[in-house]
Structure 1
Amino acid sequence: MEPDVTSAAHNSSRAPEPVGLYPHARRVGNLLFLSGVGPRQRGQKHVPGVELDEDGNILRYDFESQCHAVFQNVRYILEDAGARWEDLVDVTVFLTNMQDDFHTYNRLYAEYFQTNQPCRTTVEINRLPTPIAIELKCVAALPG
């Protein structure tokens, strides 16, 4: 029997609009791949807890509020694609300031993933395409 390799794009009406030409998620077989998800809110360019200067550079940010917003956006995308938080099997975390933010991220991650513990990779990067300090890339496995 050949595997199901049908592919379908999914966009959430609750998550922030993508900043490029890509869907929020794509289902292939029983896997759901989420595009990078940040803390912006739908219909807004402002990022929760971020203060910018006149040139758009980050002056200050509230990393904890960004974490909560990212997790909520991931949940929106999962639910709107027919998945659940518990279906997550892999999370890649991109942080722009590992030294200052990893401890907070790790603490909040433990709260959100008490029962479901997907694989996780955390990397520090120089910057993200919008003035955010965190982005998640996730994969969920859906029931057959």
Structure 2
Amino acid sequence: MNDGVHAGAAPAPVGHYPHARRVGDLLFLSGIGPRDPATDAIPAGIEAQTRAVFANVRAVLDASGARWEDLVDVTVYLTDMAGDFKAYNAVWAEFFPDPSIAPCRTTLGITALPTPISIELKCVAVVKE
């Protein structure tokens, strides 16, 4: 199986690609940012953007038949590692309070993202049927 997913409850992709693609039991999410799905507005501040990007990831997971708990690997891109990492990491700990069952995570500091956002996530989940 090789099914592309377009989630109506998530913001539209900023390019010509699906929100996610399922291959076997794995679900690969395209980079997802914090834009509001209804207005395309970008929340102010890293805490609000982190919460918004988590909500958008959840929307794609839901549309794909996966759950938040099915995430196994997350790559995080921050445009201000020095200024935003601590606050972002605190929000992460709220959503994943038990590190022994949290997804694996890599966080990268980068100079820019395709839109004026501070955070983007690239995720892999396991879809159980």
TM, length-normalised to structure 1: 0.85
Q: For CA contacts below 8 A with separation 6 or more, give which structure has more relative contact order.
A: 2
2:75 is matched with which residue: 83, 88, 92? 92
The alpha-carbon deviation at position 17 of structure 1 amounts to: 0.3
Aligned match for 1:125, one of 110, 114, 122? 110
1:76 aligns with 2:71: no
Distance (whole Å) between structure 2 residues aligned to residue 113 and residue 92 of structure 1: 15
**Match for 2:97 among 102, 114, 118?**
114
Which of 23, 29, 32 is matched with 2:18 structurally? 23
CA RMSD between the two structures:
1.0
- Note the alpha carbon deviations across 1:51-90, whole angstroms, 9 max, x for none: xxxxxxxxxxx11110100000000000011000000000
The answer to whether the Cα contact below 8 Å between 1:17 and 1:43 also exists between their aligned partners in 2 is no
Letter in 2 for 1:122: T
Retained in 2: the 8 A contact 1:37–1:74?
Answer: yes
State the number of aligned residues.
127
Gap regions ≥5 residues in structure 2: none
Decide which moves more: 114-123 or 27-36. Answer: 114-123
Q: Which runs of 5+ in 1 are unaligned?
A: 1-5, 50-61
Q: Which has the larger radius of gyration?
A: 1
Give the counterpart of 2:47 among 42, 53, 64: 64
Deviation at 1:43, TM superposition (A): 3.7
Q: CA deviation at 1:46?
A: 2.2
What stretches of structure 1 move > 6 A for 4+ residues in a row?
none
Contact 2:76 2:119 in 1 (8 A): yes
Check the 8 A contact 2:28/2:123 in 1, yes or no: yes
Per the TM alignment, residue 142 of structure 1 is displaced from its structure 2 partner at its CA by 1.5
TM-score normalized by the length of structure 2: 0.95
Residue 113 of structure 1: CA displacement? Answer: 1.1
Contact 2:11 2:40 in 1 (8 A): no
SS at match of 2:122: strand
